[in-house]
Structure 1
Amino acid sequence: MIFRQLFEPVSSTYTYLLGCEDTGQAVLVDPVINSIERDLEEVSKLGMTLAYTVDTHIHADHITSALELRNKAGSKIVTPAIERLDCTDLGIEEGVPFEVGSIRLDPMHTPGHTDGHFAYVFQDRIFTGDALLIEGCGRTDFQNGDAESLYRSVKEKLFALPDDYLVYPAHDYKQRRVSTIAQEKDRNERLNREITLEEFQSIMENLNLPYPKFIDYAVPGNKQCGICPTDLPDKLKEYCEQMSFSQQG
């Protein structure tokens, strides 16, 4: 198995590269548009062909590179079927494994951050998107988010996985790279094993977070599998431009 964790610093997004050594095919989970060249270079260095991109949800803080990668590399676009995106090549559903050679992702519908959010189990780890972050979780006040739904997604689905499963989130803002299910049960300030639904709802209602600065551009762009708007303000252009340097996890 080939596994790489890649970091995009503008939106603090983790992209995950999975490779099947038998078939030479690779999959990118949550790729970011301003890291296209880095990702393609990483795939090439491994002697692989990019077969698919897989997104956990319609992102509000960055533009996916799914469409551009399809144009450049011929990869197919995989998104949750519940989103019904016209640009999708394959819609993913809970209970239906997604397999590419020896790579197998088991999709898990985890609504709450967004209503169409999915996490993906891969061997002894899970890509949790924004549903479960390291000692945190995604916000629930946009894109049909719902605190009760997120609470149940985490407590009833993600926390039902084995304690030693590795948790790989879509973001981290403190340079942390991985957690475990057990650690999140113990240390997650919003969703540890002691937090009740009522306490979680109160926490999420009182976050007082600012309106996301990129959401009005990212959501429409990501509903088209990764279109950068032409009217993007100069102060936000770094979210769509190719970067000369991007940290790698």
Structure 2
Amino acid sequence: MLFRQLIDPITSTYTYLFADEANKTAVLIDPVFEQVERDLQLLTELGLQLDYCLETHIHADHITGTGQLKTVTGCLGVVPKNAQVTCADRFMEDREILEVGEIQIQAIATPGHTDCHLAYLVNNKYLLTGDSLLIRGCGRTDFQGGDAGVLYDVVTQKLFTLPDDTLVYPGHDYKGQTVSTIGEEKQFNPRFVGRDRLNFIQFMATLNLPYPKKMAEAVPANQNCGKITDDLDLVVLHSNGK
């Protein structure tokens, strides 16, 4: 299996590429609009056919690249069940498994950061947590149907019950960290260590974070697979080899 961790430096968003090296089929998780050309180039260089783009949730801090990638590659867009998305090809629910060649991707419902959110467990080893569990942190819970109590429950009851050596790959990191493990997060994550559910809820209520700068444009765009006014220009650039 081929695995790559890619980053958008502006929003500190991670995109993940998995591919079956035998049949050259691939999946991208949480692609970013501004990095579509990078992703397409990598797929071409590695001789991969993109079958799916998976979203962990409807993002508020960046616009997804799924719409562009669907246009260019013919891949299918996958989002969490009940997400308010107009153009998804497939909705995944808790414990559902998506197979891409030798790769098995199990969805784990992890609402709390938003009302519809999935983590993806790839081949029982790589846990892509989106914004539910971050390295030594977690996603905020103050908009898009977020709920701190629900987030505490899913992290402690679903994610922290996975084997300690499960690799944790978050949707973002703002300190240059790339990977953790379930064992590390259970031991060192300050959002959860030493906190019960009530204390966690009270702590999350005091964060007072500013809203993401792109929220007003990102949420409606992501409900339409990231389609924005200048999307045609990006497709033309790719078709011209630029």
Which runs of structure 2 are paired with 1:114-129 in the superposition (5 Å)? 114-123=114-123, 124-129=125-130
SS of the residue 2:144 aligns to: coil
Paired-residue identity, %: 49
- Two-structure CA RMSD over aligned residues (Å): 1.4
Q: Which residue of 1 aligns with 2:209?
A: 209
Q: Which residue of 2 aligns with 1:234?
A: none
In the TM superposition, what is the alpha-carbon distance from 1:76 to its structure 2 partner? Answer: 1.0
In the TM superposition, what is the alpha-carbon distance from 1:229 to its structure 2 partner? Answer: 5.7
CA distance in 2, matches of 1:103, 1:50: 13
Q: Which residue of 2 aligns with 1:158?
A: 159
Deviations along 1:45-85, whole A, 9 cap, x unmatched? 11111111000000000000111100111111111122152
Unpaired segments ≥5 residues, structure 2: 236-242
| 2:179 equivalent to 1:178 | yes
- How many residue pairs get aligned? The number is 231
CA distance in 2, matches of 1:86, 1:211: 24
Would you say the 8 A contact 2:84–2:223 is kept in 1? no
CA distance in 2, matches of 1:131, 1:80: 13
CA distance in 2, matches of 1:95, 1:12: 28
Deviations along 1:109-163, whole A, 9 cap, x unmatched? 0000001000010121200000000000010000000000000010000001000
User: What is the TM-score of this pair, normalised by structure 1?
Assistant: 0.90
Q: Which residue of 2 aligns with 1:54?
A: 54
SS of the residue 2:52 aligns to: strand
SS of the residue 1:182 aligns to: helix
Unpaired segments ≥5 residues, structure 1: 231-240, 243-249
In the TM superposition, what is the alpha-carbon distance from 1:108 to its structure 2 partner? Answer: 0.4
CA distance in 2, matches of 1:95, 1:209: 32
Which runs of structure 2 are paired with 1:93-242 in the superposition (5 Å)? 93-123=93-123, 124-192=125-193, 194-228=194-228
User: What is the TM-score of this pair, normalised by structure 2?
Assistant: 0.92
SS of the residue 2:107 aligns to: strand
In the TM superposition, what is the alpha-carbon distance from 1:208 to its structure 2 partner? Answer: 1.4
CA distance in 2, matches of 1:106, 1:168: 15
CA distance in 2, matches of 1:143, 1:128: 17
Q: Which residue of 2 aligns with 1:28?
A: 28
Would you say the 8 A contact 2:29–2:53 is kept in 1? yes
CA distance in 1, matches of 2:93, 2:84: 11
CA distance in 1, matches of 2:229, 2:212: 16
